[in-house]
Structure 1
Amino acid sequence: MARIGAARLSAEPSSPEQHDRRRRIVRAASRIGAEKPFERVQMHEVAKAAGVAIGTLYRYFPSKVHLFTGVMAAQVDRLRDQVTEPAPGTAPENAVADLLVQASRYLMAQPVLAASMLHASNTAHAATVADTVHIDNTFREILLRAVGIEEPTVQDVRLVRLLMQCWYGVLQLSLNGRASMADVESDVRLACELLLASRSNAS
């Protein structure tokens, strides 16, 4: 089982140079993780590919769980930057379903990396892996924006959280060979319809 490094939190970069080193580490982990499964990725290999000392890597990512949760956080940030406002008149469930289907296709294009990111994110504890909170908050922001909600209620947040967990589960089934990509897309659209139908009715 992966070492989670519960005794030490990740350091946060403060200078431009530190941010650059952290980004290089994440990019290197993404490249290597696209070719090797989680258990075969070696931290020293990532450090070498990123051009940083092994101590620098462990400073920002005390374990592989931290590292691949950080990779997932970067992917979620990229998704947020690519999201556009839905066309006027688009039903909320359709807007969110289109977004999640697009994200699913993007992730599943690199299934080995997707498996590592989901494994790390599901294993990580929010108290010791800060990127988990960033992933949850950013993904919630993305979905709420797709629905068109600027001031979410407690119920809105709960529905989005359920939808996120459903999406993660469907992706995991596909990665385990128990669902096709067509199944993923149809399941995602059904989940959006069931969970967000009340939003369409409210509109």
Structure 2
Amino acid sequence: MPRTAEPRQPAAPVSRKQLARRVAILRAASELGARDGLAGVQMLDVAKEAGVAIATLYRYFPSKTHLFTAVLEWHIEMFLEGHREGAAHGPAADGVTEVAETLIALTAKLLDSPLLASAVALSSFTEYASAVPSRYDIAGSCLGQTVLRLLGVRETRDEDRSTVRLLIYSWWGLFVAAQTEEISAQQLEADLRLATRLILAPYSDRSA
């Protein structure tokens, strides 16, 4: 009986030209996903829109699930980069409050495009369910590192990593609930502020 081939992992771009190709693919997928939704996006159309060969697309993203999971990560990274630059010129807030407001603003940005929000949510769930859980380093992700920075954590302990995981999983659940319209935007904000305040209570004094 033939063995099922192991899923191929995405190639990592190393040169500036390869990085530019990857960004072009992510941008094209974002535009098509926002217009057509996950089911309506074809990989060939993404390659054409990005101006790359279909083989190049599959080299970086072996499946549509890989592609839209990366789209989510890319959008989070872009938002946090811009949010950090803007925060540098704004009034200082305590770390816990700043984390809550950052998560609220990030969620609102992702929900600006309902079809794309649905595409990245479905893809991320599928990717997580099919992968080895230990592969995911939530605390080491861009979002996890941003939370730790806002809280003033310089030397990360196991407890810090667990707290960040708990917070991001809570945020993700609320994002999905808002994306599927189980909760309103107002309820989302209230729940995010409450979850952040409760989960990050031990950090209130150090970030004040």
Q: 1:121 aligns with which of 107, 121, 124?
A: 124
Q: Please tell me the residue identity of whatever aligns with 2:25.
A: I
Q: Spell out, residue by residue over 1:10-59, the C-alpha distance to the aligned partner (whole angstroms, 9 max, x if none).
A: 11122222221111111000000111221221101111111111111111
Separation of aligned partners in 1, 2:8 and 2:200:
39
Q: Which residue of 2 aligns with 1:111?
A: 114
Q: Spell out, residue by residue over 1:53-111, the C-alpha distance to the aligned partner (whole angstroms, 9 max, x if none).
A: 111111111101110111112112213312236855x3332111111111111111112
Separation of aligned partners in 2, 1:56 and 1:95:
40
Separation of aligned partners in 2, 1:101 and 1:6:
38
Q: Spell out, residue by residue over 1:106-143, the C-alpha distance to the aligned partner (whole angstroms, 9 max, x if none).
A: 11111211121122222214858xx9658952111011
Q: Which residue of 2 aligns with 1:23?
A: 23
Q: Please tell me the residue identity of whatever aligns with 1:13.
A: P
Distance 1:135 1:10, change over 3 A: farther
Question: What does 1:39-78 align with in structure 2 at a 5 Å threshold?
Answer: 39-78=39-78
TM-score with structure 1 setting the length: 0.87
Separation of aligned partners in 1, 2:136 and 2:46:
21
User: Secondary structure of the equivalent of 1:157?
Assistant: helix
TM-score with structure 2 setting the length: 0.85
Q: Which residue of 2 aligns with 1:187?
A: 191
Q: CA deviation at 1:198?
A: 1.6
Q: CA RMSD in A?
A: 2.3
Distance 1:12 1:202, change over 3 A: closer
Separation of aligned partners in 1, 2:56 and 2:138:
22
Q: Please tell me the residue identity of whatever aligns with 1:25.
A: I
Q: Which residue of 1 aligns with 2:35?
A: 35
Separation of aligned partners in 1, 2:170 and 2:138:
19
User: Secondary structure of the equivalent of 2:36?
Assistant: coil
Separation of aligned partners in 1, 2:140 and 2:72:
11
User: Secondary structure of the equivalent of 2:73?
Assistant: helix
Q: Work out whether 1:174 is the aligned partner of 2:175.
A: no
What runs of 5+ residues in structure 1 fail to find an aligned partner? none
1:73/1:135 contact within 8 Å kept: no
Q: CA deviation at 1:164?
A: 0.4
Distance 1:120 1:110, change over 3 A: same
Separation of aligned partners in 2, 1:54 and 1:146:
40
Q: 1:151 aligns with which of 126, 148, 155?
A: 155
**Aligned length in residues:** 196
Q: CA deviation at 1:159?
A: 1.0
Separation of aligned partners in 1, 2:38 and 2:24:
19
Q: CA deviation at 1:154?
A: 1.3
